Amino acid sequence: MNRSNDLYQKVTDEIIAALEKGVLPWVRPWREGEPVVPMNALSGRFYHGINIPLLWNSAERQGYENDRWLTFTQIRNAGGNIHKGERSTLAVFYLPQQREVVDSNGNTVLDADGNPKVMSYAVVREFRLFNIQQCEGLPEAFSQPVVMVDDPIAATEQVTRQSAVMITHRRQNRAYYSPGRDCIIMPHPEQFTSREDYYGTLLHELTHATGHASRLNRDGITAGKHTFGDPTYSFEELVAEMGAAFLCAHVGIQSKLQHDSYIASWLKVLQQDKKAIFRASGLARNACEYLLERAQQPVSAERMTFISTAEHPALPFFSTPINLRNPINSFAPNLTAPKGKIQRVKGKRVKGERAYPKRGFPSSFELQVRWLSSLTPVTYLCKLQGIHCVTAFLHLKIHWE
């Protein structure tokens, strides 16, 4: 057995040992003033991938109250010392690589489309870290409190809003992502025990949604329908659970994740494949970074603009009925229609020609919004430039700038 394979097994054994005790090593232990994920105390850089659960689990198991780590050399160079008898924590350098496949003659092997076949592999080695709580004589700057997210709920809503994934609510007890419709179905927020649990569940489903072919194209989502307990399903659930945990840490949400019924299936996946936790943590990191990067992207307009037909008489009408009830997005629940002249649109009585969004929405288009006088629960889906807007009791008109 080579050193890489031995390291894969060593890491997997640590994760399995935690799961067998009912501990989820990828869920952040909440400590005020600490970084959102384990951090190098000298460089300020966050550790990624499999190192997040490894370091969180080590800190929790040994009772450390911070998430800052250093190598032996960094401690010495900073003028510090390690307390006598302290033991280091395992960390992993993991660098995915690709290379073209060649035959015995050194010629590049082509696939059915004539493109070079590519083989994926990884450079893997272990290194050792010490928590700063194991040290003395370090600069005070290494332990300065970290400024936390001011409003975790607002930060989570920003991630949700900018994800461009359609979300709707139903009176049911199950949350799920539908790959075929590219839509998340959620129970109503009041059905959850807390807002944090609602958003934690939503982030789990958003992680699933990143696997759509139009986003990160992950096999667990694009390879077809799978049933509970099969390896592909269990692996995708592991990715979604880790992704949600990483996202919760970044936005500051303390949520009970959806793990109870999955631990046995995750253990089976890890016991059968010692590289699975590396792949899952890497895919979870990709999903987390994808959503966080989108949340920080500048928008083309500070606020969605609502316009009148009088100003734009040639606007095309765009409304596609879909069978959804109780939809939500960033603006639909917050619209108000003032009293106004009764008009006719496609034979229906409507009133009001302006509405006010509660907050900005990422878009490069304008909408004409008219409230139906009859509150029939009809919903319209507007899907433009990758942005999904679900609105209740509305007709939409689109004006391209």
Q: Which of 102, 123, 147 is the last residue of a domain?
A: 147
Do 63 and 102 reside in the same domain of the chain?
yes
Same domain assignment for residues 15 and 104: yes
Q: Based on the fold, state whether residues 204 and 271 are members of the same structural domain.
A: yes
On whether both 130 and 1 belong to a single domain, the answer is yes
> pLDDT tens, 154-167?
899 989 988 888 99
Domain identity same for 107 and 3: yes
In a domain, 22, yes or no: yes
Domain span including residue 84: 1-147
| Of 266 and 354, the one with more pLDDT | 266
pLDDT tens per residue, range 236-253 = 999 999 999 999 999 998
Both 174 and 138 in one domain: the answer is no
227 and 107 housed in the same domain: no
Same domain membership, residue 395 and residue 260:
no
132 and 246 together in one domain = no
* Percent residues over pLDDT 90 in the chain: 46
Write down which residue in 131, 147, 163 finishes a domain: 147
Is 307 a domain residue? no
pLDDT at 260: 65
Quickly state the pLDDT bin for 111 (edges 50, 70, 90). Answer: confident
- On whether both 217 and 276 belong to a single domain, the answer is yes
Q: Which residues contact 139 (CB under 8 A, 6 or more apart)?
A: 78, 79
Under the banding of pLDDT at 50, 70 and 90, the label for residue 95 is: confident
pLDDT for residue 255: 82
**Residue range 290-305: mean pLDDT, rounded:** 62
How many structural domains is the chain composed of?
3
